[in-house]
Amino acid sequence: MLTTQNETTALDLTWVRSQFPSLAQTVNGYPVAFLDGPGGTQVPQRVIDAISGYLKRNNANTAGAYATSRNTDAMIADARAAMADFFGCDPDEIVFGPNMTTLTYGISRSIGRELGPGNEIVVTHLDHDANISPWRALEEHGVVIRFAEINEQDCTLDMNDLAHKITGHTRLVAAGYASNAVGTINNVKEVVRLAHQRGAMAYIDAVHYAPHGPIDVRALDCDLLVCSTYKFFGPHMGVLYGKREHLKRLHPYKVRANTNAIPNRWEWGTLNHECIAGITACIDYLADLGRHVDSSASTRRAALLAAYRAIQKHERGLMERLIRGLLVFAGLKLYGISDPKRFDQRCPTVAVRIAGHTPLQLATKLGERGFFTWDGNYYALNLTERLGVEKDGGFLRIGLAHYNTAEELERLLAALRELVGG
């Protein structure tokens, strides 16, 4: 990414960490290192304040003829504008929902109304199950699901196979922006191009990518893209971008009283208003982070892009350090890209196995020492099955976020050395 004139690109880590009250915790006398970001990140104080502030002052349903209800309508409009800046689209293309999985089931059910025998959907072996099972549910309608292969040696998507699997019968291609298990960033723009070339729609799961890199739905030209704000410093909610034409044309399952106007026709029942208030605060946190590194950022979108330049630079340094430190362990196998020259093709999400220790044993022992990592398949079930590790407990996942420090990683590597030797 290009930097601008007034930009330092260096993350002000002291400022960043001061925003997140939970980072100061200890467990068993050890400082906590949150290396579980891919499962859900920590939140800055302003997100907590926005949620409780909404409940204190404006708790109401929408569209009422009184102050707190009007404030609620305005608050939701603000959150849509914030997410539109985040994705690079318009506010009426933003749909809120409980989480990515529920939003994806809603979309798959409505797209499924138009599909039947003779239609195909392409999914990938690299994806989280939430971007596979909702599409497989359409097998009930006679839709054929085809799986794009991976290159096992570096856990990347096999783009030739993907291109081959997309045919004139394909109606939709569902692919992840980045793998929540092994960190691979896919060439999403090319996935979208391949889908469109054959007249298919592209549905992108950006849940894992969102905390690590900027999203530009117009540049990607994707039809639908979904993410979860709790993975990028916000509350437990899902957000969907849909091209206006699709949100208008597709038929949601919805109650009769619900409007037909977009985007609300895709939002069923009463939303989680307090969390929506938290979403604006989370986007504004990221924008402020951007203004810290680039004081010339004149719009919120520009500030967000500056934030991601600093985040990527910081995370890249941490990732190099972590992977270099891990690769010297005897009996350690890293799944995913390990060549630093290719690190722009991966997120700082590192999956390993260490001979003689199950991922659960390692995660448990690390957890007792304040290192919060994850073990298992993290719902990337097709991938752990494909790589033959599902029956042996999956991987140990060390997931970095921009609030992590080099010192935490040095302590982690030292703790691992003590636990496994080497």
Per-position x/- string for 237-256, each x denoting binding to ligand PLP as judged by CB under 6 A, each - no binding: -x------------------
Nearer to ligand PLP, 101 or 170 (CB): 101
Binds ligand PLP by CB under 6 A, chosen from 41, 228, 264, 382: 228
Nearer to ligand PLP, 127 or 294 (CB): 127
Q: Is 4 helix (H, G, I), strand (E, B) or coil?
A: coil
Tell me: does residue 207 bind ligand PLP (CB under 6 A): yes
Compute the distance between CA of residue 314 and CA of residue 330 in angstroms, rounded to an integer: 28
Q: Min. distance of Cβ 180 from ligand PLP in angstroms?
A: 3
At 146, list the tokens: 């085809």
Binds ligand PLP by CB under 6 A, chosen from 101, 124, 264, 349: 101
Tell me: does residue 349 bind ligand PLP (CB under 6 A): no
Tell me: does residue 212 bind ligand PLP (CB under 6 A): no
Q: Min. distance of Cβ 131 from ligand PLP in angstroms?
A: 6
Percent helix, strand and coil across the chain, each rounded to 5?
45, 20, 35
Only one of the segments 55-63, 83-91, 98-106, 139-147 lies at the binding site for ligand PLP (rule: CB under 6 A); that segment is: 98-106
- Give me the count of residues in the chain: 422
Nearer to ligand PLP, 176 or 359 (CB): 176
Q: Return the H-helix or E-strand segment holding 406.
A: helix 406-420
Q: Min. distance of Cβ 228 from ligand PLP in angstroms?
A: 3
User: 239 φ, ψ to 5°?
Assistant: -135, 135
Q: Min. distance of Cβ 135 from ligand PLP in angstroms?
A: 13
Alpha helix stretches (DSSP H) within 58-180:
67-87, 100-112, 133-136, 159-165
Q: What is the DSSP string of 275-296?
A: HHHHHHHHHHHHHHHHHHHBTT
- E strands, 262-392, where? 332-335, 349-354, 371-372, 374-376
Nearer to ligand PLP, 100 or 173 (CB): 100
Q: Min. distance of Cβ 336 from ligand PLP in angstroms?
A: 14
- Subset of residues 12 to 31 that bind ligand PLP, contact rule: CB under 6 A: none
- Subset of residues 176 to 195 that bind ligand PLP, contact rule: CB under 6 A: 176, 180
Tell me: does residue 100 bind ligand PLP (CB under 6 A): yes
- Subset of residues 119 to 158 that bind ligand PLP, contact rule: CB under 6 A: 128, 130
Nearer to ligand PLP, 187 or 405 (CB): 187
Compute the distance between CA of residue 411 and CA of residue 416 in angstroms, rounded to an integer: 9
Query: Across the strands, what pairs with 173?
Result: 122, 202
**CB 337, CB 155: distance < 8 Å:** yes
Q: Which of 220, 94, 178 is nearest to 383 (CA)?
A: 178
Binds ligand PLP by CB under 6 A, chosen from 93, 205, 267, 315: 205
Q: Min. distance of Cβ 38 from ligand PLP in angstroms?
A: 6
Tell me: does residue 36 bind ligand PLP (CB under 6 A): no
R_g over Cα of the chain: 21
Q: Min. distance of Cβ 151 from ligand PLP in angstroms?
A: 19
Core vs surface per residue 270-291: b (16+ CB within 10 A) or e: ebbbbbbbbbbbbbbbbbbbbb
- Contact residues for ligand PLP (CB under 6 A)? 38, 99-101, 128, 130, 176, 180, 205, 207-208, 228, 238
